[in-house]
């Protein structure tokens, strides 16, 4: 099974980019968009000057619990930049969502409670809500995380979207919202 099939089997259709979209990002943006794959994992991520965005992290069922996800995150943490990712909200009928959140919490990721993410899926036409998690090595604020998510949305998620999907995703200001009063890092900075 190739890397795209692994991702496509694991991630919901509304979260998946097309194979052509990801291959084009790898070809057109090799300076920022990367793929790390092995027999038991696929990691797709974007690295910019001041943050890393994990687009997809897949670890096969047979190798879960053996530290592979931890090793992949450690590789990214060594860059000493905030790491940002999107996860599905916990669905108690789907134990994978709960396990995934528990894994990231154990790895030191925090929930960006001030950031909202609601995007209409081009595949299903339904509104897809995601939660933003981040790891901040230098206590970076959720404001920085929000700016990084805006940049990611415009540079990665909507890159040539009309070409790949026949229509555009919503503009970034319709998808991402920021409530400053919920940004606890900013509140702590002001005290």
Domain at 3-190, CATH from 3.30.1540.10, 3.40.630.30, 3.40.640.10, 3.90.1170.40: 3.40.630.30
Contact call for residues 90 and 98 (beta carbons, < 8 A):
yes
Residue 98: per-residue pLDDT: 79
pTM for the full predicted model? 0.91
Nearest to 149 by CA among 137, 157, 139, 159: 157
What's the DSSP call for residue 15?
G
Confidence of residue 64 (pLDDT cuts 50, 70, 90): confident
Residue 99: per-residue pLDDT: 83
Task: Kindly tell me if the per-residue pLDDT of 159 is higher than 60.
Answer: yes
Nearest to 60 by CA among 21, 3, 131: 3
Q: Got the DSSP string for 128-181?
A: EEEEEEEE-TT---HHHHHHHHHHHIIIIITTTHHHHHSSPPPPHHHHEEE-GG
Residue 100: per-residue pLDDT: 84
Residue 93: per-residue pLDDT: 66
Q: Where are the domains of the chain?
A: 3-190
Least confident of 67-76, 81-90, 97-106, 171-180: 97-106
For CA atoms 22, 26, 27, 32, the dihedral sign is positive
**Mean pLDDT of the 48-60 span:** 96
Confidence of residue 65 (pLDDT cuts 50, 70, 90): confident
């Amino acid at each position: 099974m190739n890397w795209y099939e692994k991702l496509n089997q694991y991630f919901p259709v509304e979260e998946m980019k097309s194979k052509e979209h990801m291959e084009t990002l790898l070809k057109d943006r090799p300076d920022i968009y990367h793929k790390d794959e092995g027999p038991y994992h696929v990691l797709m991520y974007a690295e910019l000057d001041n943050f890393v965005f994990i687009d997809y992290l897949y670890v096969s069922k047979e190798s879960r619990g053996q530290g592979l996800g931890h090793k992949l995150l450690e590789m990214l943490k060594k860059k000493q930049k905030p790491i940002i990712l999107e996860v599905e909200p916990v669905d108690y009928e789907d134990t994978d969502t709960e396990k995934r959140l528990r894994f990231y919490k154990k790895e030191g990721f925090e929930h960006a409670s001030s950031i909202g993410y609601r995007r209409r899926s081009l595949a299903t036409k339904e509104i897809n809500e995601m939660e933003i998690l981040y790891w901040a090595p230098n206590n970076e604020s959720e404001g920085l995380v929000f700016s990084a998510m805006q940049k990611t949305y415009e540079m990665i998620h909507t890159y040539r979207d009309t070409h790949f999907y026949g229509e555009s995703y919503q503009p970034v200001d319709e998808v991402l919202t920021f409530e400053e009063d919920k940004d606890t890092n900013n509140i702590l900075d002001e005290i």
